[in-house]
């Protein structure tokens, strides 16, 4: 990984690299810092590396654990010591990034591949994974190995390295030892909750860059696959998802700030037995109206909040309808009058 950083910086003429790490990983921080110290001692980092004219400093930076710091400009703001509010683009970071300098932001997993590509060649790298789909001009292929983080209701959760393009079912059965307690899967999140949901029937979808999009998901995302067994309530799943995104929205954009709140309030009402069947279409309307893809927000967090809503309701609508009918047989919501604001005296 450090060699990948050095090669990337050499190629882009960068003199400083920052490794931005979430706060919760102290072991990673200690190991990375120890490895960096070894590199400095060996002359692989610092001034005039191995007697050349190339100099590079690599700094570890510990973030304060906000989801939005995964967005590159939010990360840059946080790195500069500010609140992690994503920036309006353009300018893009490659033109004006951290400390107003041209900046390249990449996932460390990507950077770690650089060393292997330089050592073994692009053809070797492209021999792993899935070639481009000739019928899809937007699919450049999915090459190389991938770290799949498998969690949820499987026998052997863990982080597995496998070629891009294995199916979700292969990951669950061959790497994760199958669904736990002998149960069946009901659904799986393909790559972080923001990517949406696979149904059980969609588990044969390849986990490559194009695969999840073919079944209505946002994409592969982080390849952090979470398995939901047949006992999980999709209503509970969506409630948790809405709670998470409402909490993580940074609040700059009205559609994201208000939309995530409305979605959560509706899910809380449904969970409290006051749901209405028409709430499902209202939720879909929120899902279709917030995010970068409809062009209403600064960053993609709102899309990330919208996709689980759209996927859960479109793919599991029957379960939501059954829940609402069972918990609120009259089918209408109990509403409360909103108090008028006090009228202030003219003076
Ligand atoms: S979309 Fe949401 S998280 Fe992203 S900048 Fe706007 S309010 Fe913040």
* % residues pLDDT > 70 (the chain): 95
What contacts 80, CB < 8 A, 6 or more positions away? 98, 99
Using the 3D structure, point to which of 182, 205, 229 is the last residue of a domain: 229
- Residue 132 falls within a domain, yes or no? no
- What local confidence, expressed as pLDDT, does residue 337 receive? 60
What CATH number is given to the structural domain containing 181? 3.10.20.600
- Per the prediction, the chain carries an average pLDDT of 94
Q: Output phi, psi for 166, to 5 deg.
A: -65, 155
Residues 40 and 104 in one domain: yes
- Residue 336 falls within a domain, yes or no? no
301 CB less than 6 Å from ligand 1?
yes
Residues 272 and 296 in one domain: yes
Q: Locate 307 and state its tokens.
A: 């996709």
Residues 249 and 303 in one domain: yes
**Average of pLDDT values for 121-132?**
96
Kindly tell me if the per-residue pLDDT of 345 is higher than 70.
Answer: no
- Residue 32 falls within a domain, yes or no? yes
- Residue 323 falls within a domain, yes or no? yes
- Residue 334 falls within a domain, yes or no? no
Residues 241 and 221 in one domain: no
Residues 210 and 252 in one domain: no
253 CB less than 6 Å from ligand 1?
yes
Taking the CA of residue 249 as reference, the ligand 1 atom at the shortest distance is: 3
Query: Can you give the pTM of this predicted structure?
Result: 0.90
As for how many domains the chain has, the answer is 3
Residues 259 and 200 in one domain: no
- Residue 337 falls within a domain, yes or no? no
Residues 161 and 211 in one domain: yes
CA-based nearest residue to 242, from 255, 257, 261: 261
Å from CA of 312 to ligand 1 middle: 22
What CATH number is given to the structural domain containing 112? 3.40.50.11540
Mutate to test the pocket of ligand 1, among 301, 303, 307 (most ligand atoms within 8 A of CB): 301
Which of 15-24, 173-182, 205-214, 329-338 is least confident? 329-338
Kindly tell me if the per-residue pLDDT of 260 is higher than 60.
Answer: yes
Sign (positive or negative) of CA dihedral 291, 295, 300, 303: positive
CA-based nearest residue to 256, from 85, 115, 112: 85
Q: How far apart are CA 286 and CA 290, in angstroms?
A: 6
Kindly tell me if the per-residue pLDDT of 73 is higher than 90.
Answer: yes
What CATH number is given to the structural domain containing 272? 1.20.1440.230
Residues 253 and 216 in one domain: no
Which of 10-19, 51-60, 84-93, 329-338 is least confident? 329-338
Residues 6 and 112 in one domain: yes
Residues 106 and 11 in one domain: yes
Domain housing 260: 234-327
Residues 254 and 271 in one domain: yes
250 CB less than 6 Å from ligand 1?
yes
Kindly tell me if the per-residue pLDDT of 168 is higher than 80.
Answer: yes
- Residue 61 falls within a domain, yes or no? yes
**Average of pLDDT values for 203-220?**
95
- What local confidence, expressed as pLDDT, does residue 338 receive? 62
Residues 196 and 277 in one domain: no
* % residues pLDDT > 90 (the chain): 90
256 CB less than 6 Å from ligand 1?
yes
Å from CA of 246 to ligand 1 middle: 10
- Residue 53 falls within a domain, yes or no? yes
**Average of pLDDT values for 176-191?**
97
252 CB less than 6 Å from ligand 1?
yes
Using the 3D structure, point to which of 229, 262, 285 is the last residue of a domain: 229
Condensed to tens digits (0 to 9), the pLDDT of residues 314-336 reads 999 999 999 999 999 876 655 55
Q: Contacts from 109-114 at CB under 8 Å and sequence distance 24+?
A: 109/146, 109/147, 111/1, 111/4, 111/5, 111/8, 112/1, 112/4, 113/4, 113/144, 113/145, 114/3, 114/4, 114/7, 114/8
């Amino acid at each position: 990984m450090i060699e990948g950083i050095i090669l990337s910086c050499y190629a882009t003429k960068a003199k400083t690299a920052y490794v931005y790490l979430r706060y919760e990983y102290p072991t990673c921080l200690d190991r990375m810092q120890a490895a960096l110290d070894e590199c400095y001692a060996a002359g692989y980092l610092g001034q005039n590396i191995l007697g050349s004219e190339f100099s590079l400093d690599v700094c570890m930076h510990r973030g304060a654990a906000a989801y939005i710091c995964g967005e590159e400009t939010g990360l840059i703001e946080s790195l500069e010591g500010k609140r992690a509010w994503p920036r309006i683009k353009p300018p893009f970071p490659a033109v004006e990034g951290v400390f107003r300098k041209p900046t390249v932001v990449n996932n460390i997993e990507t950077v770690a591949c650089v060393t292997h590509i330089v050592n073994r060649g692009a053809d070797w790298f492209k021999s792993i994974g899935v070639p481009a789909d000739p019928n899809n001009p937007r699919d450049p292929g999915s090459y190389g190995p991938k770290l799949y983080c498998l969690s949820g209701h499987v026998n052997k959760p863990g982080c597995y390295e496998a070629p891009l393009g294995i199916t979700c079912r292969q990951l669950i059965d061959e790497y994760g030892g199958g669904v736990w307690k002998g149960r069946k899967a009901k659904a799986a999140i393909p790559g972080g909750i923001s990517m949406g949901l696979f149904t059980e029937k969609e588990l044969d979808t390849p986990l490559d860059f194009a695969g999840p999009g073919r079944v209505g998901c946002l994409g592969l995302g982080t390849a952090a696959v979470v398995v939901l067994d047949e006992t999980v309530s999709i209503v509970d799943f969506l409630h948790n998802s809405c709670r998470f995104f409402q909490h993580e929205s940074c609040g700059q954009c009205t559609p994201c700030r208000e939309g995530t709140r409305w979605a959560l309030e509706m899910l809380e009402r449904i969970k409290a037995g006051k749901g209405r069947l028409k709430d499902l279409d209202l939720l879909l309307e929120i899902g279709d109206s917030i995010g970068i893809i409809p062009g209403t927000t600064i960053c993609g967090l709102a899309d990330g909040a919208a996709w689980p809503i759209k996927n859960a309701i479109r793919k599991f609508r029957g379960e939501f309808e059954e829940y609402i009918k069972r918990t609120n047989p009259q089918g209408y919501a109990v509403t409360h009058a909103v108090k008028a604001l006090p009228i202030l005296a003219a003076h």
